[in-house]
Amino acid sequence: MTADDSHDDIPVQRAAPRIGHRGSGDPQVAIDTPVVFDLEDVAVYYGAFRAVRGVAMKVLKNQITALIGPSGCGKTTLLRAFNRMHDVIPGARVTGKLQYHGIDLYGPQVSATEVRRRIGMVFQKPNPFPKSIYDNVAFGPRVNGTKNKIELDAIVEKSLRAAALWDEVKDRLGSSALGMSGGQQQRLCIARTIAVEPEVVLMDEPCSALDPIATARIEELMRELKSRFTIVIVTHNMQQAARVSDRTAFFTAELDSANDRRTGILVEYDVTQKIFSNPSDERTENYITGRFG
């Protein structure tokens, strides 16, 4: 399968429904911005434990969507539902409606590998393979059938350039990725992810292990990548969410009367500016102003 025909079997839903938050008005978003993910009443379970429930939101194409909220409210859990990473955890399951361009991601015909090829993921902890820098970036394209050395070289260079890493590593592509700094490793993981030309890049706290300079670099990178990819990012850093994202979803954990355990819920989802200047929910306001209990 080549990059050109890869999106054929998932029709792009052009005429997206209006997404403004309860008539909040949405000046930044044109009415016809395509919806990439459409969630309704999504819940994720680990065995009998319901980690998040009742999530309804729409993720828009070529936007950066930030997921924020206190620790343990299920941000990672929800993020992993977007590219079926829960399939590899025994006992984990996703319920509700989770559509990707109008297709049920968890439908019986849908292959998790195909899903993950289109929806890439950058993890919280940099996790390069114990291979050379080159082989790390080339892994995804190779898995997807690119064997031609010249083609691979081109992809590797392009991806490393896009991740603002090329100049630092171009002379040592053959050396181990584990010999890089944490920030370089994380940018390598980003390069590795975009090397397969996904449509969506999911990022789980990509800067949590990085210093402010490396963080600024990755934020800049995200803004650049936005024109080519749709980005969903989990972050604990509210300034970061405010700086880079177009829309922000605030989650919190509440006691679930069903089983007496804390379950994550989506409190508010809106344009980032609105969330940080004039949130409609008191819990959001308390959290972003640091009054969270």
Partner 1 sequence: MTTVASDLHAKPSWRSARSAIMTGLMVAAVGAVALPLVAVLWAVIERGASVAFASFPDFFTSEIPVISRRAGPGMGPAIVGTFLVTGGATLLSVPLGILGAIYLNEYGGTRKLARAVRFMATVMTGVPSIVMGLFIYIMWTMRFGYSAFGGALALAALMLPVVIGSTEQMLRLVPSHLREASYALGATKSRTIIAIVLPAAAPGIVSGCLLAVARAAGETAPLLFAVGAATAYNPSLFDEANTSLSLQIFGNATSSFAAAQDRAWGAAFTLVLLTFLVTFIARVVTARFSRMR
What residues line the site for ligand ATP (CB under 6 A)? 46, 49, 51, 71-77, 89, 236
Q: Please choose, out of 13-21, 127-135, 217-225, 266-274, the segment that lies near partner 1 by the rule CB under 8 A.
A: 127-135
Residues 53 and 252: their CA atoms lie apart, in Å, by 11
Nearer of residues 130 and 212 to partner 1, judged by Cβ: 130
Nearer of residues 20 and 47 to partner 1, judged by Cβ: 47
DSSP state of 106: T
Backbone angles phi and psi of 81, in degrees to 5: -70, -25
Report the partner that residue 53 touches, choosing among partner 1, Mg ion, ligand ATP, none (CB closer than 5 to 8 A by kind). none
Quick one: tokens of 74? 């299920």
Collapse the DSSP code of 209 into the 3-class scheme (helix H, G, I; strand E, B; otherwise coil) and give the result: coil
Residues 228 and 77: their CA atoms lie apart, in Å, by 25
Nearer of residues 64 and 191 to partner 1, judged by Cβ: 191
76 near Mg ion, rule: CB under 5 A:
yes
Among the listed residues 113, 181, 239, 289, the single contact to partner 1 using CB under 8 A: 113
Report in angstroms the alpha-carbon separations of 126 from 99, 180, 210. 29, 11, 10
Nearer of residues 53 and 101 to ligand ATP, judged by Cβ: 53
Which residue of this chain has its Cβ atom nearest to Mg ion in the complex? Answer: 76
Q: Please choose, out of 50-58, 119-127, 155-163, 206-214, the segment that lies near partner 1 by the rule CB under 8 A.
A: 119-127
Question: Hey, which residues between 133 and 172 contact partner 1 (CB under 8 A)?
Answer: 135, 139-140, 143-144
Burial 251-288 (b: 16+ CB within 10 A, else e): bbbeebeeeeebbbbbbbbbbbebbbeebeeebbbebb
Residues of this chain that interact with Mg ion (CB under 5 A) are 76
